[in-house]
């Protein structure tokens, strides 16, 4: 017999039904946190013209706003989640495996089973001994509540006065996160990265959110990545590297267990949580001379280590063959033909080929991040971009589209709130802009873009994605060592 440490309990949360019922449950939990014991709910469709959509809910909304309050709705008082039991299960290892693989039948998918505590795959059972061993990876006490740490100087950190509140106001301790790290298959030396990821919200801090193909991307910048053996070379986003794979999985399990999200059904602010498994390390040895690391761009020291996190909106992988790239400066091949330099050897900017193809994917993005092989980065340096800022400024200033063009792309309605949002360059609402007004494509400012370098024998790795709301935010790993 053995005891198994709880990563979290799903207390007081009804699991999923039809339509928007999943969102209703979490909406009610959210208003409870704000001292509202009972809130009224009206379904609002997301498809159709404005007038058509309003017509479907306006009567119900007016009724909900004007009907007298019930006795339940008149109650007051702040909601606090029920305390969690530290030990969630006692039994044999086989019993524990069955417990953690528990599923819930969900009507939305034809009563298919959806995993309650995991991402649907088997996990490492978090026994007392395994969690204790995992905690050797940090100097922090198991009972410490997870809080943000602000870096004040090299090696100096200030802890936030208020502990973090995950979805539905749930708190987590260092031991709770260590338990999740065990479940994901992490080693103790990975724990500081997982703890940093938890302070970033893990795969999500809000539920519900969106169910689109967006997600999170994580990058370790600093010496800690190589110290624990992360991959910054061949197949940096591929499977096989234990730190990359298990740290990414831990972020997903944080979504499940700390944000109370039933994956595959309840929608998170990161979209599909499986996309949140993209984890890599920056290879600073691949940077051209004068190009700063991700952490240095944010004003930190090169000796420090951080976890960068960004939300993915639109994304692309390598959109050209390596032969096309390697032949460009020779003036031969399809990329050379596209840029009009066929038969004219010289130094050329391969991003002049790539950038126009990204515009319809996520125009007017807050910023774009590019993960590229050192050969690609070096070619940009040789072309004339002696710093990353040179490249960012060129990208920002070169590519603009008219407001009329922007309205034909799929993100306009969402990004501009149907034209009611304010365009930052002009200060006008988008729906008041003339059709020939030029809108930026790559970033609300040049500094919102970023480049991460990796290395590979083939030299062709390239990946780009639109960031939201901006370039990666950095969370200290050193603070959790």
23-42: pLDDT as tens digits: 555 566 566 666 776 778 78
Say what the pLDDT of residue 164 is.
86
pLDDT higher at 343 or 469 = 343
Residue 123 DSSP label: -
Residue 15: pLDDT band by 50, 70, 90 thresholds? very low
Most confident of 2-11, 41-50, 214-223, 295-304: 295-304
Contacts of 160 (CB under 8 A, 6+ apart): 147, 148, 149, 150
pLDDT tops 60 at residue 209: no
Compute the half-sphere exposure of residue 341: CA atoms within 13 Å on the CB side of its CA: 19
Residue given tokens 């040049």 in the structure block = 446
Rounded Cα–Cα distance for residues 255 and 116 (Å): 12
| Higher local confidence (pLDDT), 470 or 328 | 328
- pLDDT for residue 16: 20
Indicate the domain borders of the chain.
Answer: 281-480
Of 48-52, 133-137, 220-224, 335-339, the range with the lowest mean pLDDT is 48-52
Given a contact cutoff of 8 angstroms between Cβ atoms, the answer to whether 280 and 239 are in contact is: no
N-terminal to C-terminal alpha carbon distance within the chain: 33
> How far is residue 305's CA from residue 286's CA, in Å, rounded to a whole number?
17
**What is the model's pLDDT at position 79?**
67
Q: Which of 99-103, 206-210, 407-411 tops mean pLDDT?
A: 99-103
Check whether 274 has a pLDDT greater than 70.
no
Residue that wins the pLDDT comparison between 7 and 214: 214
Mean pLDDT, residues 81-109: 81
Give how far Cα 78 sits from Cα of 31, 81, 205, 260, Å.
10, 10, 20, 20
Asked whether the predicted pLDDT for residue 359 surpasses 90, the reply is: no
* Rounded Cα gap, residues 140 and 153, in angstroms: 20
pLDDT band at 72 (very low <50, low <70, confident <90, very high): confident
* Pick from 200, 204, 176: nearest CA to 260: 204
Q: pLDDT band for 20, please (50, 70, 90 cuts).
A: very low
pLDDT for 288:
97
What pLDDT, in 10s, does the model give residues 372-411? 999 999 999 999 999 999 999 999 999 999 999 999 887 7
- Residue 480: CA count within 13 A, CB half-sphere: 34
Q: Residue 18 has what pLDDT?
A: 22
CB atoms near residue 81 (< 10 Å): 19
Rounded Cα–Cα distance for residues 403 and 434 (Å): 7
Residue 4, Cα to own-chain centre: how many angstroms?
30
Q: Mean pLDDT throughout 242-264?
A: 81
Among residues 173, 166, 209, 183, the alpha carbon closest in space to that of 115 is found at: 183
- 1: tokens are 């017999």
- pLDDT range class, residue 205, cuts 50, 70, 90: very low
| Average pLDDT for the chain | 83
Summarize the confidence of residues 161-182 as an average pLDDT: 87
Global pTM reads 0.84
Per-residue pLDDT band at 322 (split at 50, 70, 90): confident
Between helix 191-199 and helix 242-257 the angle, nearest 10°, is 40
In terms of average pLDDT, the best of 3-17, 80-94, 329-343 is 329-343
- Give the pLDDT of residue 433: 95
Cβ neighbors of 222 (< 8 A, separation 6 or more) are 282, 293, 295, 302, 303, 304, 305, 306, 477
């Amino acid at each position: 017999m053995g005891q198994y440490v709880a990563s979290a309990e799903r207390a007081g949360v009804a699991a999923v039904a039809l339509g928007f019922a999943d969102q209703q449950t979490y909406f009610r939990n959210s208003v409870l946190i704000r001292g509202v014991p009972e809130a009224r709910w009206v379904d609002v469709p997301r498809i159709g013209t404005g007038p058509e959509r309003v017509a479907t809910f306006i009567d119900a909304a007016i009724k909900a706003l004007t009907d007298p309050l019930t006795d339940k709705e008149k109650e007051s008082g702040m909601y606090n989640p029920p305390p969690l039991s530290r030990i969630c299960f006692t039994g044999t290892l086989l019993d524990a495996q069955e417990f953690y693989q528990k599923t819930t039948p969900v009507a939305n998918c034809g009563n298919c089973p959806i995993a309650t505590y995991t991402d649907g795959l088997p996990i490492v059972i978090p026994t007392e001994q395994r969690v204790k061993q995992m905690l050797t990876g940090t100097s922090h006490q198991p009972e410490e509540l997870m809080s943000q740490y602000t870096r004040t100087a090299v090696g100096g950190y200030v802890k936030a006065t208020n502990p973090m509140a995950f979805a539905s106001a749930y708190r987590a301790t260092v031991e709770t996160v260590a338990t999740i790290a065990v479940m994901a298959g992490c080693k103790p030396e990975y724990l500081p990265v997982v703890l940093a990821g938890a302070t970033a919200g893990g795969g999500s801090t809000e539920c519900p959110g969106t169910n689109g193909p967006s997600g999170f991307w994580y990058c370790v910048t600093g010496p800690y990545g190589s110290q624990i053996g992360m991959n910054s070379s061949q197949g940096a986003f591929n499977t096989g590297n234990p730190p990359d794979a298990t740290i990414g999985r831990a972020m997903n399990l944080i979504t499940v267990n700390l944000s109370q999200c039933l994956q595959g059904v309840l929608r998170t602010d990161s979209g599909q949580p499986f996309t949140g498994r993209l984890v890599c390390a920056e290879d600073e040895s691949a940077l051209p001379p004068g190009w700063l690391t991700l952490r240095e761009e944010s004003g930190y020291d090169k000796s420090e280590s951080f976890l960068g996190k960004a939300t993915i909106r639109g994304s692309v992988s390598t959109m050209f063959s390596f032969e096309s790239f390697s032949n460009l400066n020779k003036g031969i091949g399809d990329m050379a033909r596209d840029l009009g330099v066929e038969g004219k050897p010289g130094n050329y900017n391969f991003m002049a080929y790539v950038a126009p193809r990204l515009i319809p994917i996520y125009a007017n993005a807050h910023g774009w991040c590019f993960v590229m092989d050192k050969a690609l980065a070096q070619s940009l340096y040789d072309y004339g971009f002696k710093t990353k800022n040179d490249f960012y400024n060129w990208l920002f200033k070169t590519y603009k589209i008219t407001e009329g063009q922007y309205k034909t792309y799929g993100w306009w309605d969402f990004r501009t709130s149907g034209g009611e949002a304010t365009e930052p360059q002009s200060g006008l609402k988008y729906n008041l802009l003339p059709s020939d007004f030029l809108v930026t494509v790559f970033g609300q400012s040049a500094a919102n873009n970023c480049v991460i370098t990796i290395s590979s024998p083939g030299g062709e790795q390239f990946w780009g994605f639109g960031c939201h709301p901006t370039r990666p935010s950095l969370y200290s790993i050193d603070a959790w060592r």
